[in-house]
Structure 1
Amino acid sequence: MGDYADLPGVRTWYETEGTGDPLVLLHGGFCTNDTWGAQRADLAAAYRLHLPERRGHGHTPDVEGPLRYEDMAEDTVAFLEKVVRAPAHLLGWSDGGIVALLVALARPDLVRRIVVIGANFRPAPECFVEPSMLDALTPHSPGLAFFRELYEAVTPDGADHWPVVAAKVTGLWRTGPTLTTDDLARVRAPALVLVGDDDMMTLEHTAALYRAMPDGALAVVPGASHLVPLEKPALVNRLILDHLEQDAVETMAPVRRA
């Protein structure tokens, strides 16, 4: 089921499903909650899912000015306080993973465990395998056709607003996020960094993200891309649930965790 929450920054659409401890799902850039279709049933069998659509995405209207990760993190904090009303696990994909990291830094009291899928902590020109791909992502380019259709089907701003939002998202990728490894060292929530072995971000960047967090774990899924939750859903769902359910990582020959 879906409804709107009147948050300080923006009137935010969200959906809920399942029972149990709260788990907030944060979709990727250009996306809607529909892109979680391969995860919802498995995760809702164990958790109470909360799925907000961020400003300028899906059913949630755009706002004046550029998109900023910090603003979307503030929206998510407000959502946790007003709608979830309890500390929650965060599952973020791509831009959603960046937002999850920022929320974990700003409000550790609201975050239990986090999973970030295909996330980066530096702007795209610094971490993309092919930074030039941004130049090809124009509003009506074939590469954005799938996302344009998702947007046009549900946006309250009208289909004609798509070029504005598309420009905002690609602009966001060029300039943010701007976290450092010192920032990431302050993430105290146990964090699973999950990525396809052929993601948009370099594996070196993903490894740096994992290594920077004191209580991090890393999963590189073979034969997968940035769309790993859709390509390998059974494996991804199992990895997510294993991380959320374990109390601590115990291995037979620890080195980093010794």
Structure 2
Amino acid sequence: MTRTATSCRFTSQRAESVGFVDAGGARLHYEVCGAGEPLVLLHGNSESLGYFGAQMPVFSERYRVVALDTRAHGESTRGDGVLDFARLSDDVVAVLDALGIDSAHILGYSDGGNTALTLALREPERVRSLIINGANLDPHGLGAKFRVPATLAWIAGGVVAPLSARVRRQRELLELMVRHPHIAASDLGSIAVPTLVIVGEGDAIPRSHTELIARSIPGAELTIVPDAGHACAEERPAAFNAAVLGFLACADTFGQ
């Protein structure tokens, strides 16, 4: 079931809708702006679609941009069942189905990149191209800068979680980082759509791990955004947006 309203927090003049989709016991929030080929934006852990505030206005000039609040993030509720990347990729499909979109360009940042890779492996027909920003294939690929404090917080949270619903929710999100994902590099060879792997020069994801992802996807491009860290879309939006739009301009002609 979908409920929509005619407004958009980022680009109201180009708004199509703001809405909610019921899926797996959750109420998933999304916003749609612009027209053209669909481009889905997936944010990172403990964030919301607001992370893409510098991308929505620019991308919606050329594309029908669909930004999601991941389950248990932003205005989306937790729902029932497990919280893992297979479930989150199913949520993307639910939103696409509700909007009548057969396939889309998928841009995923951090945990959103893990969801995008999972979606491409599980539902390849729903993906026109991939933009993977700061993703990792397994917990060790997260890099010690993120993994160590996240693991310590997850362990500490286990003591308090029985007494606090808020801590239980935070610990569950941390668990997505310290115990997930589980994507084999060898499986990435099945991805057959144009792919851009893009990271900041100082990303907390080790460069070797990012290069492994790019090397494992046939024909994938690797772009390094200078003077930027993990959140390069937020830190260097002009450079990030230019790289993504340049890639999409070529991806649009793929298979023609």
State the shift of 1:65 in Å.
Answer: 4.8
1:132 aligned residue: 148
For residue 117 of structure 1, what is the amino acid of its counterpart? N
The 1:248–1:33 alpha-carbon spacing in structure 2 relative to 1, beyond 3 Å, is: closer
2:55 aligned residue: 39
Comparing 174-183 with 59-68, greater Cα deviation is found at 59-68
The 1:188–1:72 alpha-carbon spacing in structure 2 relative to 1, beyond 3 Å, is: same
1:193 aligned residue: 197
1:210 aligned residue: 214
SS at match of 2:224: strand
SS at match of 1:185: helix
1:68 aligned residue: 84
1:239 aligned residue: 243
- Runs of 4+ in structure 1 displaced over 3 angstroms? 135-141
1:224 aligned residue: 228
Q: Is the 8 A contact 1:134 1:170 kept in 2?
A: yes
For 1:137 and 1:45, the matched residues in 2 are separated by 41
The 1:3–1:140 alpha-carbon spacing in structure 2 relative to 1, beyond 3 Å, is: farther
For 2:197 and 2:88, the matched residues in 1 are separated by 20
Query: Structure 1, unaligned stretches of length 5 or more?
Result: 142-159, 250-258
Percent of aligned pairs sharing the same letter? 31
SS at match of 2:67: strand
Q: Is the 8 A contact 1:28 1:96 kept in 2?
A: yes
SS at match of 1:220: strand
Q: Is the 8 A contact 1:190 1:216 kept in 2?
A: yes
Pair 1:55 & 2:59 matched? no
Comparing 30-39 with 4-13, greater Cα deviation is found at 4-13
Q: Is the 8 A contact 1:17 1:49 kept in 2?
A: yes
Pair 1:11 & 2:15 matched? no
State the shift of 1:19 in Å.
Answer: 1.0
For 1:212 and 1:218, the matched residues in 2 are separated by 12
Query: Structure 2, unaligned stretches of length 5 or more?
Result: 1-6, 8-17, 158-163
SS at match of 2:77: coil
For 2:117 and 2:239, the matched residues in 1 are separated by 23
Pair 1:85 & 2:85 matched? no
For residue 225 of structure 2, what is the amino acid of its counterpart? V
1:104 aligned residue: 120
The 1:161–1:59 alpha-carbon spacing in structure 2 relative to 1, beyond 3 Å, is: farther
TM-score (structure 2 length as normaliser):
0.83
1:176 aligned residue: 180
Comparing 2-11 with 190-199, greater Cα deviation is found at 2-11
Deviations along 1:22-57, whole A, 9 cap, x unmatched?
Answer: 111111110111111011111010101111211100
For residue 122 of structure 1, what is the amino acid of its counterpart? D
SS at match of 2:218: coil
For residue 44 of structure 2, what is the amino acid of its counterpart? G
For this pair of structures, how many residues does the alignment match? 230
1:147 aligned residue: none
Deviations along 1:133-160, whole A, 9 cap, x unmatched?
Answer: 214546999xxxxxxxxxxxxxxxxxx8
For residue 13 of structure 1, what is the amino acid of its counterpart? H
TM-score (structure 1 length as normaliser):
0.83
Q: Is the 8 A contact 1:139 1:162 kept in 2?
A: no
